[in-house]
């Protein structure tokens, strides 16, 4: 068997109950203990008001069957109108899709949301708090007032979107950086028109993989690690899961790193500035 011990979850993924069942089964079967696992979840956009933050966290904890989270992230720097759990969960991007397919923003200062996040740490519900999809100015803002500093920045990083300056800035603040979509595979974003994108098929990656005798995925994940990032690939295939973990028996040379650096296209696949106008008739740039 094979598997991961860092589980990256979120309310918006709509599968935390199933993830919780898997965690419980692994612990019950003696595969691991709770202490062996690092479980992340994320505060969704509709729960940014301080009065909803703890309830949202507790809902994720209940669904996951956990007493605490190792890491709780604010999913996006986007505050949307509150949708009660009994109306729809997860609520998605629009308050009432039967009435309108447009988003409705909520005027919640991020400082208020962050203070509520800090209280989750104080109460022992979460061990660490951090940010997802945040830009450099957003980091400067939060670090100016945070009592408990964000410990992790999770952003899209792959050879076609290398985010070098943002990574280096986050590291300078003492943050760990986690790369989502680290393989640069557009299949997860096919509905947004990115289905044909694959960094794994790029000649640069293919040539390095052939020379080192490893897979293209291993090259890209090792590249991410050598840049000081944690990488969270996803796969349903046992063989690929094992392969994605087996990254410590080889390394990339400086020439390899330089060649991959030349692949950067600033190609962002998970971009509210693109998909919100297209899907929800709402302008919502965060990476302008």
pLDDT in tens, 131-179: 999 999 999 999 999 999 999 999 999 999 999 999 999 999 999 999 9
Rounded to whole angstroms, the Cα distance separating 28 from 236 reads 21
Choose the catalytic residue: 13, 68, 89, 169. 13
Cα–Cα distance measured from residue 287 to residue 270, given in angstroms and rounded to the nearest whole number: 11
State pTM to two decimals.
Answer: 0.95
Whether residue 82 lies in the annotated active site: no
The alpha-carbon radius of gyration of the chain (Å, integer) is 19
Below-70 pLDDT ranges, the chain? 1-2
């Amino acid at each position: 068997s094979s598997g991961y011990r860092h589980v990256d979850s979120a309310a918006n993924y709509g599968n935390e109950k199933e993830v919780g069942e898997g965690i419980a089964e692994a612990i019950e079967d003696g595969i691991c203990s709770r202490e062996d696992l690092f479980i992340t979840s994320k505060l969704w956009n509709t729960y940014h008001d301080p009065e909803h933050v703890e309830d949202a966290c507790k809902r994720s904890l209940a669904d996951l069957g956990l007493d605490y989270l190792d890491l709780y992230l604010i999913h996006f720097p986007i505050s949307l109108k509150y949708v009660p759990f009994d109306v729809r969960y997860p609520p998605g991007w629009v308050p009432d899709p039967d009435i309108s397919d447009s988003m409705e923003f909520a005027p919640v200062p991020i400082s208020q949301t962050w203070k509520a996040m800090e209280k989750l740490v104080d109460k022992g519900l979460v061990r660490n708090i951090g940010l997802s999809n945040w830009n450099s100015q957003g980091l400067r803002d939060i670090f100016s007032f945070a009592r408990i500093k964000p410990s992790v920045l999770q952003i899209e990083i792959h050879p076609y979107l290398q985010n070098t300056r943002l990574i280096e800035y986050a590291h300078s603040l003492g943050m760990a950086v986690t790369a989502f979509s680290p393989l640069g595979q557009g299949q997860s974003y096919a509905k947004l028109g990115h289905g044909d994108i694959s960094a794994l098929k790029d000649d640069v990656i293919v040539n390095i993989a052939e020379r080192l005798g490893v897979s293209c995925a291993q090259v890209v994940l090792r590249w991410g690690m050598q840049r000081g990032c944690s990488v969270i690939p996803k796969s349903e295939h046992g063989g690929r899961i094992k392969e994605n973990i087996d990254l410590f028996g080889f390394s990339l040379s400086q020439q390899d790193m330089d060649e991959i650096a030349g692949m950067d296209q600033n190609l962002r696949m998970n971009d509210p500035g693109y998909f919100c106008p297209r899907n929800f008739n709402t302008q919502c740039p965060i990476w302008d």
